[in-house]
Chains A and B, each alone.
Chain A
Amino acid sequence: MRFALFIFLLHSFIFADQYTFLLDEYDKEMELEAKILSQIAKDGIKTPITLFIPDITKSEKKVYGKFFSISKNCKDANLIFVNKNYEHNFAMCEGYFFTNNYKKLIADERFFGALFWSKSRPNIIFIKKRLKAQKITLPENYNRYIEELQ
């Protein structure tokens, strides 16, 4: 009996990685995004940030909640992070728009920048003209991310 228990425990420890489903869902990628967005917001917008994420998920709320005060609607927010692929109606919303999609960034002039994954690598782009229009000033170390797209 002792031997059986010992084998069971040994097996459990050795194959512990098989039981990660028992833990809370955790997304490192999301946390990285939240950190970068928080840094951009601090460096560019400067005023206290209230973040709105359309159709925010529980895990997003938990992760982004560590860095931002989260708003339930876009009217009360001064930073809107569009990270879903479908279309949203932001007609009533005022604030700074940021996305995680390069194509959206190119297509919609409201977005001043994007943080997206290109070939599994994080990429950051700010559009110079839009930064200027929205009166966002970024420190010099952001220059390598600023593009002069028309």
Chain B
Amino acid sequence: MIHKTKLRNPLYLITISAFFAIILAILLYGTLKLEEDVESKIIKISTSDVLKIAANNAQYITSFLDKDKSYIEQIKSDKKLQEKIDNALKILLTKNVKYAYIVYKDKNGTFRFISDGSSPQEKAMIGQKFDVTSPLWKDLYKTKKPVIIHHEFLKELFITYLYPFCQNKEVEMILAIDFSIGKIEDVNTIISTMKTTIIATIVIIFLFLTVLAIQTFRFIVARNSAFLDKLTNVYNRNYLQEIENFINLDNYALAALDIDHFKRFNDTYGHEVGDRILKEIAQIILKNCRKEEDIVIRYGGEEFVILVKSKRDERKTSIDTCKRIHSSIQSHQFYISDTEYVNITVSMGVNLTPGQSRTFSDAFKLADIALYNAKNKGRNSIEIYEDGSKARQSGHLSISEINAALEEDRVICYFQPIVHSKTNTVSHYEALLRIVDYDGKIITPDKILPAIKGTFILRNITKRVLKICYKTLKDNPDIQITVNINPQDIINDTIIDRLQMYAKKRDIAQRIGLEIVESEDLIRLQHADKNLLKLKKMGYKIFIDDFGTGYSNFIYLAQIKTDFIKIDGNIIKNILNDKLSLAIVKSIVNFAKEANIKVVAEHVSNEEIYQIIKSLGIEYAQGYHFSAPRESIERLEF
């Protein structure tokens, strides 16, 4: 699919070529016109002197003649006069004036020579007939004015200048001067050189433009091909990189689509079937999108990004498009052989307001979060990301705000002590994530984590918290810290590498407890249990956080050999009034004793609760009864 608004139509090259062709035609016409103008100008300049001399010469010849007698008869009858006039005509002959002679018209209208300044070989005899080639010769007898005749067909002559000898107001004879072709050849050489230079320049420019147009066309074709995914024929990630800085996200809704369990299909039926599925899914997406307006991109292996064009107040259209794509894929039969087919489902995350994000990348992360949620809810569904304004209303931070906090070093940790109930001394400090906003207000994790759940920003936050803890431990060699990490962090190589690096430092791993929220993810994620055991080997203590309310799996606890379990605060705070809560706590404590796991009670808010905790044999307690979370480590004694 070619998105015409972005990839230009090659027709524009034809327009440019036509434009330049017109320019070149105008230039050529100008050149020809220039040639004519220059020619007439040069002729005028080069002949004007001669014409003046010729006119003077005619006056001079007239001075020999008696005005009262016929000029022709005078010359015919006087040999000396003939010689005198011939000599006067000879003066006019130059390199460019080939002939100078005088003719008259007899009673039959035939022109005859009366005098000739030419050399003896070419000299015409008196009375010799002279066939003229232009009617202007005869016209001169009427106009009685000098005339210039341009010769088109005579090989050696260029122009002839005719000057009338008048007697009694009638033309008696004509002085004729023939300019040789030599003059025009000189002029033509200059003009021809000019013309050749101009035409050569035009030809070179034209060829250059042609080559440029061809190369541009080839470049566009090559670029278009570089932007297309060869397998699915939709745009690839290169195209996304090309447009992401220019696209107006206000005009689009952004959807991330992931094929459910695609890896399983690939592993079961082979890559050939996998590729066919990808192709068919791409075709279904394209079929349900508007060709000219929507943009479909294969983002990764089995992930597609769809930019559905829609106005801000027409978001329903985008959702309808996504629903159409989702249901079309769901109902499609993907044939894995001639007879067998499989059904495939997809999960989609939709960001309806990508324009509110700073960059395409930020907008995509929100769609990705929604996609993550869709997958978490059991796949085969469409999740819409809650827009930024709603998030702000509830005091939640957006991804861009969290990113900014990371960049501007506004991510900090508060520390809350965990007290050993037998000795009444601080055993550990729990490091708690905080962000300081621009007003200096402290933002707590419940306002931070929803936006970044499942994104790499959460990884960055974990890394930052670990770094703060590492520094705090170095500054306070006699304390131990527990830090909250996400199940996803356990399988993340960069987090594991960082923890491995800290473990190499003396007495660091032994002083860090890793608090992991108990959830299905922890069990589901591959290598999570192996990594936990690996971390334990490095010296880290494992704490299962919020135990008792979520997904409580006692067998798994035994498998991962957890060191501590932290009973959820919601159970502890009800322990005074709710028998069931008390029973749960007792049960957990009994199990922990059997399994040799230490127990921490959270949310211990008063002395009464603390006393019950102690009476139940819970060794560790944490809560406002001892101290609220504080920005720095405080040495407390109880």
> A residues within 8 Å of B by Cβ?
6, 10, 14-15, 28-29, 102, 106, 118-125, 144-145, 147
Smallest CB separation, A35 vs chain B (Å): 14
Q: Which residues of A contact B122 (CB under 8 A)?
A: 119
Q: Which residues of A contact B157 (CB under 8 A)?
A: 119-121
Verify B155–A119 contact, CB threshold 8 A: no
Smallest CB separation, B193 vs chain A (Å): 11
Smallest CB separation, A19 vs chain B (Å): 15
Q: Which residues of B contact A144 (CB under 8 A)?
A: 110
Closest to A15 in B: B196
Verify B131–A124 contact, CB threshold 8 A: yes
Q: Which residues of B contact A28 (CB under 8 A)?
A: 155
Smallest CB separation, A60 vs chain B (Å): 18
Q: Which residues of B contact A106 (CB under 8 A)?
A: 125
A-B pairs with lowest CB-CB distance, top 8: A120-B156, A123-B131, A119-B99, A120-B157, A14-B196, A120-B154, A121-B133, A14-B200
| Residue from the list B99, B129, B196 in contact with A123, Cβ < 8 A | B129
Verify A102–B178 contact, CB threshold 8 A: no
| Residue from the list B128, B130, B199 in contact with A14, Cβ < 8 A | B199
Bitwise interface map of B from 80 to 114 toward A, beta carbon under 8 Å scored 1, else 0: 00000000000000000011010000000010000
Closest to A13 in B: B203
> B residues within 8 Å of A by Cβ?
98-99, 101, 110, 118, 122, 124-125, 128-133, 154-157, 176, 178, 196, 199-200, 203-204, 207
Smallest CB separation, A37 vs chain B (Å): 16
Q: Which residues of B contact A147 (CB under 8 A)?
A: 129
Q: Which residues of A contact B203 (CB under 8 A)?
A: 10
Given A10-B203, A29-B155, A120-B157, the answer on whether A102 and B98 have CB atoms closer than 8 Å is no
| Residue from the list B110, B125, B130, B196 in contact with A119, Cβ < 8 A | B130
Verify B128–A102 contact, CB threshold 8 A: yes
Complex Cα distance, B101 from A118, in Å, reads 12
Q: Which residues of B contact A123 (CB under 8 A)?
A: 129-131
Smallest CB separation, B382 vs chain A (Å): 58
Verify B131–A121 contact, CB threshold 8 A: yes
Verify B155–A120 contact, CB threshold 8 A: yes
- Residue contacts A-B, CB under 8 angstroms, 8 given: A14-B196, A14-B199, A118-B128, A119-B101, A119-B176, A120-B98, A123-B130, A144-B110
Smallest CB separation, B138 vs chain A (Å): 13
- Supply 5 further A-B pairs (C-beta < 8 A) apart from A102-B128, A124-B131: A14-B199, A118-B130, A119-B99, A121-B132, A121-B133
Given A10-B200, A14-B199, A144-B110, the answer on whether A119 and B129 have CB atoms closer than 8 Å is no
| Residue from the list B131, B176, B204 in contact with A122, Cβ < 8 A | B131
Smallest CB separation, B159 vs chain A (Å): 12
What's the A-B contact tally at a CB cutoff of 8 Å? Answer: 48
Complex Cα distance, B122 from A52, in Å, reads 26
Complex Cα distance, B131 from A80, in Å, reads 24
Q: Which residues of B contact A118 (CB under 8 A)?
A: 124, 128, 130-131
Smallest CB separation, A124 vs chain B (Å): 7
Smallest CB separation, B30 vs chain A (Å): 19
Q: Which residues of A contact B98 (CB under 8 A)?
A: 120
Smallest CB separation, B506 vs chain A (Å): 71
Smallest CB separation, B67 vs chain A (Å): 28
Smallest CB separation, B541 vs chain A (Å): 75
Complex Cα distance, B157 from A29, in Å, reads 14
Verify A121–B154 contact, CB threshold 8 A: yes
Verify B178–A120 contact, CB threshold 8 A: yes
Verify B155–A125 contact, CB threshold 8 A: no
Smallest CB separation, B479 vs chain A (Å): 78
Complex Cα distance, B131 from A124, in Å, reads 8
Complex Cα distance, B96 from A139, in Å, reads 40
Closest to A6 in B: B207
Q: Which residues of B contact A145 (CB under 8 A)?
A: 131
Closest to B178 in A: A119
Closest to A144 in B: B110
Smallest CB separation, A80 vs chain B (Å): 23
Q: Which residues of B contact A120 (CB under 8 A)?
A: 98-99, 154-157, 178
Q: Which residues of B contact A124 (CB under 8 A)?
A: 131
Complex Cα distance, B133 from A99, in Å, reads 21
Complex Cα distance, B201 from A14, in Å, reads 12
Complex Cα distance, B196 from A15, in Å, reads 9
Complex Cα distance, B98 from A6, in Å, reads 43
Q: Which residues of A contact B132 (CB under 8 A)?
A: 121
Smallest CB separation, A34 vs chain B (Å): 16
Closest to B109 in A: A144
Q: Which residues of A contact B176 (CB under 8 A)?
A: 119
Closest to B134 in A: A121
Smallest CB separation, B237 vs chain A (Å): 38
| Residue from the list A6, A14, A119, A125 in contact with B124, Cβ < 8 A | A119
Q: Which residues of A contact B130 (CB under 8 A)?
A: 118-119, 121, 123
Complex Cα distance, B106 from A147, in Å, reads 12
Smallest CB separation, A13 vs chain B (Å): 9
Q: Which residues of B contact A122 (CB under 8 A)?
A: 131
Complex Cα distance, B178 from A29, in Å, reads 19
Complex Cα distance, B128 from A125, in Å, reads 10
Smallest CB separation, B98 vs chain A (Å): 7
Q: Which residues of B contact A29 (CB under 8 A)?
A: 155
Complex Cα distance, B99 from A120, in Å, reads 9
Complex Cα distance, B126 from A106, in Å, reads 13
Closest to B197 in A: A14
Smallest CB separation, A84 vs chain B (Å): 15
Q: Which one of B98, B124, B129, B132 has the highest number of Cβ atoms from chain A below 10 Å of its Cβ?
A: B129
Complex Cα distance, B129 from A145, in Å, reads 9
